[in-house]
Amino acid sequence: MRNNLIEKAKKVLLGNKKRGFTLPTNNKLYPAQWKWDSGFIALGYSHFNLKYAIDEISTLLKGQWKDGMIPHILFHDLNTNYYPNHSVWNCGNKIHSSGITQPPVLAIILKKILDKNKIKVTQKIKIKSMVQKLKKYHEWLIKYRDPKNTGLVSILHPWESGYDNSPLWDYSMNEVKVEKNLKYKRGDNKVINPEYRPLDSDYDRYVTIKNHLRNNKYNPKHLYKKSMFNVVDVGFNSIFLRANKDLLELLKIFNFEHKKLHKFILKSENKIEKLYNKKKGVFTNYDVKNKKKIVVPSITNYFILFANLKNQNINKKIIKNLKNHNLKKKYMFSSIKPNYKKFEEKRYWRGPVWINCNWIIYQGLKNKDKKFANIIKEKTINLIEKNGFYEYYSFKTGKAFGANNFSWSASLFLDLIFEKNNN
């Protein structure tokens, strides 16, 4: 049964593969290359075709902007029904792209690939150049998304988090005044049942913020202050902290300068604890624009485990809390805690289970609570065995929603299955 599924997972990836990159799915919902999808996809390929893994990241890095930013979407194919497409973003370097970024998972993935594979000399040279590009990208995030040098970076659009319509953004999005006479045509809710997708009122704001960024020529020097949306997100910062720790190791391997990064890591490790509510034992977001703490029980707050904080007291408390997130449920983790007032079972990032979230949490747990980590791993594999490689699932019934043949679900399934020695 599992062997069959392994072959199916590989087929999903190969079925979505284009020249040098892979689509998130084959159903026209996402007809481009997405940044964090590509990272997860590369990890999946690394278990059966190292060349494809390296090509995937290489192609993504070809779209890096001159200032170092790596865009969240690269539009290789200009002839699609996707909105917002390349012409409304109207930016890019060598490849048409969006003007915002997405969670910085690439250094983490690259380190995993390097640690677990026999790498040929020619591939090592390619990886060295990738590391150099990632160094530039991390420097961009630090310089422009943390201009006050606090140790924590901001996101300037909900899409940058990767969890677009999470209730985490409800407060901040309500503060965004929708542009007058806004005109656009969504494509996503023609492909997928609108009940499972973000609302039009969300899209109005996504587009308003995007237009504002474009009107400011995506100039990172000004946008931190000017942006209509500016949030320090626990999930994004946890991924960044982990990615910085992994990048530090990569910089050492390839003899690149790394002292500045080391300093930033020490600062982040310390400052991220400011987002911790000791009484409740939870991490919470901070809206920089509106100067407000955002308390929403999102699974992404537990990405802090992935950052491998040295503070074991916090880690223990967090794990205890995590065990209550979906108490005794067959399927986990719902993206939002089910007793939260704005939880929705079927709507995108407002409740369903996402395989990449489970994978991140599993990675964070396995060196802290192996038994619990293995439960998560088994439940995640079982969910896929029963319901297929979909985009997201109901935490109650396991029923699948969104796109089928979803690349990162297939990739991360392969990674969970093939993972060696639990490290």
Active-site residue numbers?
164, 391
37 interacts with ligand GLC by CB under 6 A? yes
To ligand GLC, the closest distance from the beta carbon of 150 in angstroms equals 26
* Per CB under 6 A, 344 contacts ligand GLC: no
- Give the span between the Cα atoms of 99 and 126, in whole angstroms: 26
- The arrangement of strands across the sheet holding 285-287 comes to 231-232, 285-287, 292-294
Token pair 């949030």: residue: 231
- As measured in angstroms, the least distance from the Cβ of 72 to ligand GLC is 7
- Residue 97, helix vs strand vs coil: strand
Torsions phi, psi for 283 (to 5 deg): -95, 145
Nearer to ligand GLC, 114 or 403 (CB): 403
Size of interface with ligand GLC, in residues (CB under 6 A) = 7
Pick from 9, 12, 21, 24: which binds ligand GLC (CB under 6 A)?
Answer: 24
Q: Which stretch binds ligand GLC (CB under 6 A): 31-39, 117-125, 287-295, 300-308?
A: 31-39
Cα separation, 101 vs 160, whole angstroms:
5
Nearer to ligand GLC, 315 or 387 (CB): 387
Closest CB 395 distance from ligand GLC, rounded Å? 18
* Diameter of the chain measured on Cα atoms: 57
34 is a contact residue toward ligand GLC (CB under 6 A)? yes
Query: Residue 250 or 360: which CB sits closer to ligand GLC?
Result: 360
Q: Which is nearer to ligand GLC, 24 or 151 (CB)?
A: 24
The residue ranges of DSSP E strands in 14-74, in sequence order, are 33-34, 73-74
Taking each helix axis from N to C end, the angle separating 50-62 and 35-45, rounded to the nearest 10 degrees, works out to 160
| Residue 55, token pair as written in the block | 């090509």
Round to whole Å and give the CA distance between 153 and 146: 5
> Phi-psi category of 78—alpha, beta or left, where left has phi over 0 and alpha has psi -120 to 50?
alpha
Nearer to ligand GLC, 37 or 415 (CB): 37
23 versus 176: smaller Cβ distance to ligand GLC: 23
Whose CA is closest to 42, among 117, 138, 141?
117
Stretch that binds ligand GLC, among 34-42, 84-92, 110-118, 288-296 (CB under 6 A): 34-42
Calpha distance 249→398 (Å, rounded): 39
Minimum distance, C-beta of residue 164 to ligand GLC, in the bound complex (Å): 4
User: Smallest gap, in angstroms, from Cβ of residue 24 to ligand GLC?
Assistant: 4
What own/partner pairs with CB < 8 Å and gap ≥ 24 does 86-94 have?
Answer: 88/184, 88/210, 88/214, 89/210, 89/214, 90/214, 91/214, 91/218, 92/63, 92/65, 93/63, 93/64, 93/65, 93/66, 94/62, 94/63
Applying CB under 6 A, among 16, 21, 26, 30 the residue interacting with ligand GLC is 30
Cα distance between residue 274 and residue 263, in whole Å: 18
Candidates 28-36, 127-135, 149-157, 294-302; binding stretch for ligand GLC (CB under 6 A): 28-36
Shortest distance, position 169 Cβ to ligand GLC, whole Å? 12
**Which of 31, 39, 44, 162 is close enough to bind ligand GLC by CB under 6 A?**
162
Q: Residue 164, interface with ligand GLC (CB under 6 A)?
A: yes
φ/ψ (deg, to 5) at 77: -110, 120
In the complex with ligand GLC, which residue's Cβ is closer, 40 or 52?
A: 40
Shortest reach from residue 219's CB to ligand GLC, in Å? 24
Residue 36 touches ligand GLC, criterion: CB under 6 A = yes
**Chain residues that interact with ligand GLC, rule: CB under 6 A:** 24, 30, 34, 36-37, 162, 164
